[in-house]
Amino acid sequence: MTSTTAERQYAHVGKTSGIQDHDHDLIHFLSARLDTLWRCDQCIANADGDAALQGFWRDIKKQEVANVNRARELVKEHVKKNCF
């Protein structure tokens, strides 16, 4: 049985890891939330004239602030445990 090009191309991806998967997941999550938070003010501005849509983006922004703060606290805890 022969490997496909894609199987060969990705056969060794992920074999070497700088940190445990759960810590990588946490950092990746934090980065994604920061990206979303960074865009929220622009989305609010883009929705000018549509109070419901602006309210939606403001709600998302509040949720993302909470998500970022929680993830940051978990990163701090993991740093104290020498996970990074």
Tell me what pLDDT residue 3 has: 65
DSSP type of residue 40: H
Handedness of CA 43, 58, 29, 83 (dihedral sign): positive
Tell me what pLDDT residue 2 has: 56
Taking only the tens of pLDDT, the chain with its 84 residues reads 456 787 888 888 777 778 888 999 999 999 999 999 999 999 999 999 999 999 999 999 999 999 999 999 999 999 999 887
